[in-house]
Amino acid sequence: MEENAVNARTAIAVEHVSKVYKLYDKPMDRLKEALKLTRQQKYREAHALSDISFDVGQGECVGIIGTNGSGKSTILKIITGVLNPTSGSVTVNGRISALLELGAGFNMEYSGIENIYLNGTMNGFSNEEIEARMQDILDFADIGDYVHQPVKTYSSGMFVRLAFSVAINIDPEILIVDEALSVGDVFFQAKCYHKFDEFKKMGKTIMIVSHDLSSIAKYCDRVILLNRGVKLGEGSPKAMIDDYKRVLVGQYELPGQPELPISKAEQNLLNDAEVQEAVQTQAAVQKRARQQSGDEQESKILEYGTRQADIEEIYLTDDRGTRTNSILKGLEFHIYMRVRFYQDLPAPIFAFSFKTAKGTEITGTNTMFEKAFLEPVRAGDRKEVCFTQKMSLQGGEYLLSFGVTGYEGDDFKVYHRLYDALDVTVVSDKNTVGYYDMDSTVVVRSVEA
């Protein structure tokens, strides 16, 4: 891609990027091919990335999520120039500062101070410019006299403190962070995310790879979902996180995935009159949930599962037993789900969870955690589950999700899940900090000097 072909507001343009590695069974095979001593192909191709394209606008915070081995780190290394793509192109408009895996860009034999100068020089700064930033780097890293010791003696937490401090203090226009913050302590992580907020307000571009879905939902404007080197989608954090959870439990239809043949038992299940009735019942559940949320046209309910069980009905009642979607903070309320089973199951687990409108999971529980139901069920059984608790969330709008899951041997199975099935309003005359009210009792008394 030519430089002038990129929109002026585009910070990063990734066009049809693929990365293919050659895997050899023996080192001798690699040598023979390098010396052209054989015409026979001695390697297998491993596709780390397959035809990946996306743009990142200036001032955007974009997250990349996916399972291990999805190509998340590979695409960041290509963007930062650490790796070259096998095909495709990447165009970057702006100065990049990257915090990749621990050790990248640092000489283990050098001291922390020497590595600060090394990184600054690599980024085009003079010694005078590095010295002008030195105190800010040291203050943010906060590793004391260890900065004068070789970095090979650092703990992983100390190393990431110094590396992140250097990355953010060289005036980057684009900051790229690959999972490294996960090794820092909770106080340092909070300091780093506060820095992300500052960068966003300054209009700088941020790309984050992380398994911390709460942080992805909170800080990112857009999320890209990768799986096995393939881009499954991009969109709002909430939508992509929901899709990622489907990938984790094998309920996402991957691009190019061959359609598996239907077994005789599955065909009999599909022909079962009760299953057909369940499908109709579920349509009614979704319609009712949309009506309860007050917006039938724009319902965002996501459902999936093996359908060995079916959530037929979901609703809330207040402390007086009245069905409602508005709960008064501080009062007891009940969450109901009614489930029908189509196969014998060893020990189904019933669950619910609350999320914010942006998709951050706040709280939830299930019958396994509560040790409330650890029994087998038979095909044809119907169960009504009632969770009773006090509403301690702050006033506002929340989304309630439901699930019926279980373990069959060591395999985790999702029988039926309903994401964002109910819109719940918490009514409060007193809100505190965060999502949860600790319901503190305060006593103030005078003391003599």
Q: What is the pLDDT of residues 281-308, one digit of tens each?
A: 444 444 444 444 444 434 457 889 999 9
pLDDT of residue 16: 95
242 and 304 housed in the same domain:
no
Which of 11-25, 202-216, 243-257 comes out lowest in average pLDDT?
A: 243-257
- Write down the mean pLDDT value for the chain: 83
| Residue 165, token pair as written in the block | 């401090």
The band of 421, judged by pLDDT with boundaries at 50, 70 and 90, is very high
178 and 77 housed in the same domain:
yes
Q: DSSP characters for 301-367?
A: -EEES--SEEEEEEEEE-TTS-B-SEEETTSEEEEEEEEEESS-BS--EEEEEEE-TT--EEEEEET
For the cut 80, the answer to whether the pLDDT of residue 94 exceeds it is: yes
300 and 411 housed in the same domain:
yes
Of the chain, the percentage scoring pLDDT greater than 90 comes to: 41
CA atoms within 13 A on the CB side of 228: 9
Question: Is residue 103 situated within a structural domain?
Answer: no
d(CA 100, CA 77): 8
143 and 181 housed in the same domain:
no
User: Residue 53: which CATH number?
Assistant: 3.40.50.300
The band of 198, judged by pLDDT with boundaries at 50, 70 and 90, is confident
Q: Is 68 exposed, middle or buried (0-12, 13-18, 19+ CB in 10 A)?
A: exposed
304 and 210 housed in the same domain:
no
Q: What is the pLDDT of residues 397-407, one digit of tens each?
A: 999 999 999 99
> How many domains does the chain fold into?
3
Write down the pTM of the prediction.
Answer: 0.74
